[in-house]
Structure 1
């Protein structure tokens, strides 16, 4: 019995592009096909492929014409939030969508803002899962999956924290290198994305960067005047206020989660958010609403073309740095052993009594130095010099 040929499917990257062209989210595709969102994510990353009727329905959904329903349009408008908290798409389409949404009624925008915040939390949790519990993935594949889902958003978040593009990329790469070095611990963590995010934030906000020559001078500001103004306000905030505001109003974490990640109490985190909002509203009154601030943070993050390195490159540099530190530790240990051996070889092996301190001797006449000759001594010396040099006469014995 011959089996019918499987329905052809586009490449994994093409599947995602076709879904986005139809203004569909992964949740929409999962609802239509009756599968989980993690399954759709696996299809788009190439880790798995649908079979049977699911494959046929998935192929029809991707190859169908663009959707025009109001629900799908609204879902597409919400895609600006993943620019800040998860995997995103092109910046130009989302920026235009954000501008259209800002021109809508304020009440609808407030309701949409709450919905986008919930969507941000879901996407962040989706990034944190990243299929790490699948037993078929090797550690390198699980790390690459976590990096692919979290790195683009973390680079944009680090840029909002520092205002420096190179430092943002370096912070994310260092965080993932440390995650790869401690992968057995990170892989079983309840929130791997949060672990990496906290590490990247700590590195990005380190005060020691100001001592590095490459970071002594400011980088070029964003092109838009509104973006420059918002970034200047953010950079004027204290680092802890900036981090709390980004986590709560940018990423969309809850207040307890924000307090836990910033190592503060919940009332302290709430006060930081309020003070940061007041500082932003004082300079930019149009961002007094938290929903408007949320949208503007997402727009500012998506306006910059920030690209993260390849996961294989990050893993390679992380392993190389770990090897260098290991070799340095071994060399230091060998040097310490050699110095210790030399010290043991040259150190005295018995007790030597110290010399007694000198003492002054009394009762001896002082040593007199020769003084000038007197007149009699001078005459005697002259007479002796005038005589023969042969000396006194020799005594000759007489024979009797």
Structure 2
């Protein structure tokens, strides 16, 4: 599958920035959107805008069907059996907060332990800190190796009788490390420990099969995988999800309400209080439909070639260091340059039309472990090209010359 053909589906990639063609390499922050997603959202607002689950009129029925179809399509694409195991949320952050509040307050108590890893995004740290403080629990951390892999030899010792949940990232947003999610989940499951996998950086780069992973919870955001902003998914294993109390109250998640008490609907409705992001869910359904028709075996090889070419080009520049060198990494390349602040690198690259991220990438503990405060990050999608890698490298060389 030719990336040049895929690029035609993304209108923004025709844009010029500072008089130069846009080279968009900030896909780890958010991906661009194909016309199919843009059209699906536009069609909803122009032809079928209505609330769902509330009306007897035609538009409400059509909107409800489109919303439910999106959920069913995502379930099918992710290798799960039951659409009711998929809850629409605002994104990965809200999904983790939901689990930490609803599941956590029920199951984590004083003296218990929450196991995280050293490569987590703040969204998979802070909610657990809140829970630990509420419950009097302790957070423990699985470290990484010098090349940026999880030190799995130390995992068994950290999975103790006190461990209640293991929450870890499927793919590091800084290092690009692809963690063996199925292996890690099995190790926890064999000890009766619940697992949550942060899939925000994994779902964009090919199909994720939840049946193979065997996790209890899986979370991700739509905007990183060609979908719109403000929509994401919490997958929860059926019986486990059904056992949890709601974490927000409002309309459409209740069965009966009186001033004395309320009873609640089963999942997913129980966790979708109020009017949801209907257009976002429809757009995410369209994003999955687009995503699934791509030839991912070929595109994964293409993304691997992008990473290899980027490493080779950047490492030829004096004083440049790449963070994360584990084989088979996702298309994320974080780097620093001796004597040059990452924000200055990003500014020079922007002048050349190249969009990257510069900062701590919402992963301050990981960067502290790496001995840095910030880095520059080029993160690729399947629509990026080897020519854009060369443009990136030339722009980084320009930054080196300018500041050297």
TM-score by length of 2: 0.23
Higher strand share: 2
TM-score by length of 1: 0.23
Higher helix share: 1
Which structure would you say has the larger RCO, counting Cα contacts within 8 Å and 6 or more residues apart?
A: 2
Greater Rg, structure 1 or structure 2?
1
